[in-house]
Amino acid sequence: MTKVRLTVPQVNYSTHPSVASLNPNPISVFAGHIHKTAIEQDDFLARRRSRKEVMVDATVVVVTLVSVGMQLTGMFVPGWWTLPPDHRHHDDSESNGTTTYGLWTTIKCSDGDEKCTEIPIDTSKANAWLQVTQVFESGAVAFSVLALLCYVMTSVKDEREMFLLLRRLSVFLLAASAVAILIGMAVFLKKSAGLARYPQRTTAGGHLDWPIFFSMAAAVLSIIIAVAVGVRLRRDHVTELVVPTQ
């Protein structure tokens, strides 16, 4: 009788392809992640250093500087609210010259606007509300300057995570600047025009003058820049902005 000997082949399951795919080597996975991250970083740097991106960044910086300049002009040039020469003041005396109100100073003219005097504006008692406008307008300038610094810093930061953080922060600060300008203007116009529940203010009957329109334009520019930068971030880094769902 012939005996048949069966030999069962030994399989190393740790290296078998079907098993290795189910239990990947942690070191290999980590190395693959590092390689993928390096490729993404290289692609990111290539886009950041392109001529088009440099031109866009320069445009944003210039427009933001123009916005800050407009804010400062609107803040420090008297003329947000102007009263005609025949307006009657709070002491019931009628002026024969134009009175111009700004955020920090008031210009009172007499003798047919031939003699004008610039005096610090009174923010006490009944005029304490002016401090609200001053705070909001000053805060708007600070927000715009911080947004500009954050945006400029992204030009020297090569790390993608830091780049995205600073860009998002600049968008938030620009939007906050526009909102602060509009709130300050709304308070000023409501009070100056006498649109309040208490008796009509003596400044009622005046009209807006050109410096306040600089602040309006600054708010519009801030909104435009914030939207433009935000849309660009959304388009170029959509995977970074979407929260993954389980």
Helix (H) or strand (E) holding 208: strand 207-208
Q: Give the tens place of pLDDT for each residue, 45-58.
A: 555 557 778 888 89
Spatial separation of the C-alpha atoms in residues 81 and 130, rounded to whole Å = 13
Lowest mean pLDDT among 76-80, 133-137, 159-163: 159-163
pLDDT of res. 36: 47
Residue 226, pLDDT > 90, answer yes
* pTM of the complete model beyond 0.85: no
pLDDT of res. 112: 67
- Residue 243: pLDDT band by 50, 70, 90 thresholds? very low
- Residue 6: pLDDT band by 50, 70, 90 thresholds? low
Query: Taking a C-beta distance cutoff of 8 angstroms, is the pair 178, 223 a contact?
Result: yes
Q: Which long-range contacts (CB under 8 A, 24 or more apart) does 53-60 make?
A: 56/232, 57/151, 57/154, 57/155, 60/151, 60/225, 60/228, 60/229
Cβ-based neighbour number of residue 89 at 10 Å: 13
The percent of residues above 70 in pLDDT, for the chain, comes to 64
Q: Give the tens place of pLDDT for each residue, 79-116.
A: 888 888 766 554 445 556 788 888 888 888 877 667 88
pLDDT of res. 141: 96
Q: Would you list the domain boundaries of the chain?
A: 51-77+123-238
